[in-house]
Structure 1
Amino acid sequence: MTCALQPLPAPLRPEVAYTGCLEAPSLIAGFLRHPPVGFDARVSHQGLPYFFTPFDLLTTADDAFVERVRGWPGYGLWHAWLRIDSCFVGTTVSEYAPFPQGVSPQDLAQWLQHECAPQRALTIVKDVPCNSPLLSEADNHYAQALINECTRRGFISLEGQALAYVPINFSGVDDYLARLSHSRRRNIRRKLRSREALHIEVLQTGDARFNDDAWLARLYGLYRAVYDQSEIHFDLLTPAFFTELLRDAHSQGRVFCYWHCDELVGYNLCYVQDGKLLDKYIGLNYPLALDFNLYVVSWFVNLEYAIAQGLDFYVAGWTDPEVKASLGASFTFTRHLVWVRNPLLRKLGNRWRHHFESDTQWHQEHTS
């Protein structure tokens, strides 16, 4: 069997209809045209996006396991071996892996095992949904069938990350806060007082102001500030990617800008899609954004916007589950399907897989 191993030229990449994808196809297309720094993004002949990039195996390991490995003899000499040139199936701009419609789980699993996985030492099908309340029954059924088929073929199935979301089943902020504990309500209300000093502006993507290159550079700089202070550095998005997103008038993007006098304190890029407000990217002007508690303020501004628009869900993304839990989020989980080309290492990976399921362990402790 043959496979399209080279990326398609950008003008020839059609926008594919996907199963189990919350985002508009244009966001996936933007990822393929302008992949993150160091990513080699490609698309299969079926329309499945995937990418190659070096990956540090300890990136998603729990803290105790990382400390244990770093204590092994000679770690400073051989730790570079843990950085492996890997293949990831999916994207880093979609909440779930986008699977092309019209390709059965069995055919997709066969392609993954026989054509995709042999290209690299490690292959990860990332963010496969598991009974997601954000998807249709048919989408969840497809995802479970793919998980079953891949595990039958020897893929290691790992618990993935915690995706935060809020069902919009309340009439306003006071109703929402009433569901939280007294101490959390008091803490949140204290932080929300910062909102009184802010001017909030909502721009649609494609607005004429995004034609200003200097303004775009400023927005990208605030995104980069958030990326640089993050503990995990994996997918550094490019200025070209952000430019395409912000100038796309058809994507239903909303840019929430927070101003104090004439100073941009931060912004939040969200998308309205199929009854959901998808929170995708945030840019913060440090330390001003911390002074104004912008993370908490933006959370409640987004909730109010979702209520006003009659939406069903606010989808708040993957990172910082502890903070999002304190703000009242619910969580749904994914699975990662991992193929290790070396059979011996595959057995070891299966034995140690629980060390790479930290979000699930956190959630179990949190709910208990």
Structure 2
Amino acid sequence: MKYINQLENNELIDNFLSYPPQDFSVWLSDHGVPIFSGKFDLLTTADKDFKYKIQKLPFYKKWQRCLQPKTCFVGTTVSEYALLTDKIDANQLAKHLKKAYAKQYSFMVVKDLPLASPLLSEQDNHYSRQLIAALKEQGYIEMEGQALAWVPIDFIDMNEFFSRFSYSRRKNFRRKLKSREKLDINLLHSGDECFFNQTVQDEYYQLYLNVYQQSEVHFDLLTKSFFIQLLQSKEAKAYIFTYHSNGEFIGYNICFKVNNMLVDKYIGMVYPQARELNLYFVSWFVNLEYALQQGFNYYIAGWTDPEVKASLGAKFTFTKHLVHIRNPLLRVIIRKFIGYFESDKEKVA
């Protein structure tokens, strides 16, 4: 099935439905739209100062569970955007979602609806605009979403790409890229024989956990079963860039080719080696070079670390979250403080 707003292959979506993140429940709506539920920390996307002030309120540890309600999400955690279907009119979908789930869940979030995304068709963008308007009519609160980083492959070679930065930035890039000389870089594919070895599976999952555990945002914890299925699936057609230093496996990127775009999805690293060798930085340019060599139109670099990606030359396209809050008093409070949960645009301004 091909969804509206889909920038991933079907195998990745099916993998999410079969092996949902830890403690999440996943299902399809009556019209085939992916939905999941789980406990959600309402401070997940709050800016640091606001989060600090909340956590310093009296008896926070006793009532913080009130800020972690079981929440229903329309969307997935493996797709860049909410996955929708043209089997139902946008107005009908908005009414159906409210009727089916709004009374059951204190919070309901239709997440990652695109805003005139250059990565999607006009038909996809049009449907999302219609759905945003219809959800607002149903009483949903509109929130600024995250910044999706992308780079158009509109340069002839990497020298042309570097020329777009200031002299000091170029000098800094070239200094960090010297780490590449110390790395052995290879390209594997999902379904390769090595991924049927349990030791290899354990290593890949542990490197993913390393990155997850040091991240500031903890939302979805993908399971080991999800990773094993992904790594072993030839149909998933994942491109896996691996990095070794002195024979030690210190990192990887899992990417996909979709609609002539290189979509960067998952990263795993060993610390402190990855930091010492500027692996995040090096992998960015390895991915760009590969996208250029293969004649791809875009490199899509995901939602996290927008400030860092902006410094590396990324452009950004934004989304909207539409939130339904069952409690009318809490709805008023959230509306008042909603600006504290919309920080990505400021980070890349």
What's the secondary structure of 1:278's corresponding residue? strand
Equivalence map 1:114-263=2 (5 Å): 114-263=99-248
**Distance (whole Å) between structure 2 residues aligned to residue 26 and residue 117 of structure 1:** 30
Q: Note the 1:49-64 alignment, pairs <5 A.
A: 49-64=34-49
Q: Is the 8 A contact 1:59 1:232 kept in 2?
A: yes
Matches of 1:245 and 1:101, distance apart in 2? 28
Conserved 8 A contact 1:36-1:235? yes
Q: Which amino acid aligns with 2:235?
A: H
What residue identity is the alignment partner of 2:327?
Answer: N
Deviation for aligned residue 1:77: 2.8
Give the unaligned 5+ runs of structure 1.
1-15
Structure 1 CA distance for aligned equivalents of residues 257 and 119 of structure 2? 14
Q: How many residues align?
A: 349
SS of 1:171's equivalent in the other structure is coil
Q: Among residues 18, 21, 26, which one is paired with 2:3 in the alignment?
A: 18
Q: 2:288 aligns with which of 282, 289, 303?
A: 303
Hey, what does 1:267 align to over in structure 2? 252
Runs of 4+ residues over 4 Å off in structure 1: none
Note the 1:44-123 alignment, pairs <5 A. 44-123=29-108
TM-score by length of structure 1 reads: 0.92
| 1:9 match | none
* Secondary structure at 1:269 match in 2: strand
Offset at residue 71 of structure 1 (A): 3.5
TM-score scaled to structure 2, two decimals?
A: 0.97
- Code of the residue aligned with 1:243 in structure 2: it is I
Counterpart Cα distance in 2 of 1:69 and 1:228: 23
Tell me the SS of whatever aligns to 2:103: helix
CA RMSD of aligned residues (A): 1.2
CA displacement 1:78-118 (0-9 Å, x = unmatched): 22211111111111111101112322211211111111222
> Partner letter of residue 185 of structure 1?
R
CA distance in 2, matches of 1:210, 1:23: 21
* Distance in 2 separating the partners of 1:212 and 1:90: 33
Task: Give 1:25's aligned amino acid.
Answer: N
Q: Helix, strand or coil for the counterpart of 2:12?
A: helix
Q: Which residue of 2 aligns with 1:12?
A: none
User: Helix, strand or coil: the match of 1:311?
Assistant: coil
Q: Give 1:64 deviation, angstroms.
A: 2.2
Decide whether the 8 Å contact of 1:277 with 1:315 is kept in 2: yes
Cα shift at 1:176: 0.6
Fraction of identical pairs, as percent: 49
Match of 1:280 in 2: 265
Unaligned runs of at least 5 residues, structure 2: none
Matched position secondary structure for 1:237: coil
1:290 positional shift: 1.1
Q: 1:252·1:273 contact (CA, 8 Å) conserved in 2?
A: no
In structure 2, the residue matched to 1:8 is none
* Equivalent in 334, 340, 344 of residue 349 of structure 1: 334
